[in-house]
Amino acid sequence: MTPDMRHLGPRLRLPGRGTPASELDLELAQEMASALGRLGRQLEAALQALTDFDAAGALDEDGPADRGLRTQLVMAAADAYWCFIVQRESCGLFDVQLIVDHYKVPVEIQRHAGIAPAMRPLARARWLR
């Protein structure tokens, strides 16, 4: 493995070409990379939405609807962060601090990552059917 490939996890090493199995491995690696890119963009968008909301000073009015909207934005960003971490780890990339540093993920988002909100009774009933 070349020195510039050491940061790649074991699953992202590019396989050789030629056999059907290696072609499938290449396609899987491309899909994993594509999923990482999509989830990274989703994380960026969720963090930007929260930043824009905070910058607009929407909570200055202290309305319950505004607090509820901010909570939804925080949970959406935490979910995007969690999904990105899980996808990276499935690719063999385990250094979460790189994500925190690169995307400047606030501690508030990190604390909420992986926490699933309680399902509403109606949604729970539909799921159990």
Cβ 109 vs Cβ 119: under 8 Å: no
Residue 119: pLDDT over 60: no
Say how many domains are in the chain: 1
Per-residue pLDDT of 96-111, as tens digits, reads: 999 999 999 999 999 9
Sequence-distant (≥ 6) Cβ neighbours of residue 36 within 8 angstroms: 84, 87, 88, 91
Q: Determine the structural domain holding residue 82 and report its residue range.
A: 18-128
Residue 41: inside a domain? yes
* Range 7-17 average pLDDT: 53
Identify the pLDDT of residue 67: 85
At residue 33's C-alpha, the angle toward residues 29 and 38, to 5°, is: 145
Residue 124: inside a domain? yes
Per-residue pLDDT of 36-94, as tens digits, reads: 999 999 999 999 999 999 998 766 665 666 888 999 999 999 999 999 999 999 989 99
